[in-house]
Amino acid sequence: MSIALATASAAEAAEMPPWLGGYRVLERIAEGGMGRLYRALDTVNCRMVALKTPRANTLAESASLLREAATLRRLDHPGIVRLYADGTWDGVPWMALELLEGRTLLAEMDAQWEGADRARSGESRRRRSRETPTVPGWGAAPAPGTASPARSGGALPKAAAGRLEGVARIVLQLGTILDHLHGRGLVHRDVKPANVFLRHGGRVTLLDFGLVCRARIARPAGASSLCVGTMQYAAPEQIVGAAVDARADVYSMGCILYELVTGARPFDGDSSHELAQKHLYREAPAPSTLVTGLPWQVEDLILGMLAKTPDDRPSSAGAAARLLATAVQPG
């Protein structure tokens, strides 16, 4: 094991540029489908930064990074990652970003649901939960055909109430951030747990603006039919390439809320086509079939955010978040 780790470290160091854009590169801290993130030292301002570059410097990756930099220059919000500088170094575009301390919402959910039946989707969990499994903080799922305590007028269990209040704090912040973005005529198009960062202390920051577009812009004729965004969280209109507006991000936020509450995504599939068909035509399993103690107002809000037609969803991310906060208030 130690040899493998040493080999991986050496290989990584060989790929890592010692300097980039006047920044001393120290270590690679993350890598995604379109980019790499390094911890680097800003020797001029004596501060640590997150240095982002394309992963393979393809035309698409470079365009995404340049678009992200252009977007971040226009935005000023405490919940949006701060851009310090950007440029090109030896043909490679780069951005120097605020270095965040904490972890992504994806990592937080994995930790919260550790040991639980964290199925890929609500559908697969429901198929596997006929024996009424116990979910941490919630209790056992109701038996098939029976109403949840919340639907029957029962009291919300204290453990569930505590988790819901924490969920509401996260979603309320995310809704405020998205309202700021939408108020400038922009749509994120990739709102997902991996792009929501929880700083130490609970402050939410939205990441990865490489797919941002102007609202109500449809995919050009003849463009690739591939979905722009992450299929597990993409709105139906986004999948088919229709014009998108703030309500596409509301749908994605609804997918996140569903996952926060149940520990499972509303839809999943063995192929992109299968997943797309479910987003387009299938209703998500009711969250109350997966967890107990869920207020009916919260379930109705989640399913409303996942409506297939944008007009049937809440009009804004902030409005949806405020409805959630009201629904989980004690008393």
Number of C-beta neighbours around residue 321 at 10 A: 27
Q: What's the mean pLDDT in 102-120?
A: 78
Helical packing angle, 246-262 and 296-305, nearest 10°: 140
The percentage of residues in the chain with a pLDDT greater than 70, rounded to a whole number, is 77
The whole-angstrom separation of Cα 54 and Cα 306 is 32
DSSP for 218-232, please give it: PPPTTS--S-SS-GG
Question: What class, spelled out in words, does domain 103-327 have in CATH?
Answer: mainly alpha
Q: Does residue 116 carry a pLDDT above 70?
A: no
Indicate whether 221 pLDDT > 70: no
Exposure b/e, 253-287, CB count within 10 A at least 16 = b: bbbbbbbbbbbbbbbbbeeeeebbebbeeeebbbb
> Under 8 Å CB-to-CB from 331, ≥6 apart: which residues?
none
Q: Name the range with the highest mean pLDDT among 144-148, 174-178, 229-233.
A: 174-178
Mean pLDDT along residues 27-53 = 92
Q: Which residues pair with 53 in a beta bridge?
A: 36
Give the whole-angstrom CA distance, residue 101 versus residue 99. Answer: 7
Q: Is the pLDDT confidence value at 323 over 70?
A: yes
Tokens of 11: 């290989």
Please indicate whether residue 212 or residue 220 has the higher confidence score (pLDDT). 212
CATH 1.10.510.10 in the chain: give the residue spans: 103-327
Domain with CATH 3.30.200.20 in the chain: 2-99
Tokens representing 171 are 């979603």
pLDDT class for 186, splitting at 50, 70, 90?
A: very high
> Cα dihedral angle (263, 265, 268, 272), rounded to 10 degrees?
-140
Contact 27, 70 (CB under 8 A): no
Q: Is 190 a catalytic residue?
A: yes
C-alpha–C-alpha distance, residues 190 and 170, integer Å: 17
Domain 2-99 architecture? 2-Layer Sandwich (3.30)
pLDDT at 78 (0 to 100): 96
pLDDT per position as a tens digit, 4-31: 223 334 445 446 778 887 899 999 998 8
Give 219's pLDDT tier (boundaries 50, 70, 90): low
Q: Which residues contact 144 (CB under 8 A, 6 or more apart)?
A: 130, 289
63-72, 106-115, 149-158: the lowest-pLDDT one = 149-158
**Rounded to an integer, what distance in angstroms lies between the CA atom of residue 106 and that of residue 294?**
22
Confidence at 161, pLDDT banded by 50, 70, 90: low
Average pLDDT, the chain: 82
Catalytic residue among 190, 208, 245, 249: 190
Model pLDDT, residue 202: 92
Q: Check residue 228 and give its pLDDT.
A: 73
Q: Percent of the chain beyond pLDDT 90?
A: 65
> Measuring CA to CA, how many Å separate 305 from each of 4, 125, 163, 247, 257?
46, 21, 20, 8, 9
pLDDT score, position 142 = 38
In DSSP terms, 55 is beta-bridged to none
The confidence score (pLDDT) of residue 153 equals: 40
pLDDT score for 128 = 45
Residues 316, 318, 320: CA angle, nearest 5 degrees? 75
pLDDT at 279 over 90: yes
Report the distance separating Cα 22 and Cα 104, nearest Å. Answer: 28
pLDDT at 56: 83
* The predicted structure's pLDDT at residue 229: 84
Q: How confident is the model at residue 91 (pLDDT cuts 50, 70, 90)?
A: confident
Instruction: Please identify which residue in the block is written with the tokens 């790499």.
Output: 36
What are the phi and psi torsion angles at 287 (to 5°)?
-55, -30
- Please tell me the pTM assigned to this model: 0.83
pLDDT tens column, 121-149: 666 555 444 333 333 333 333 343 444 44
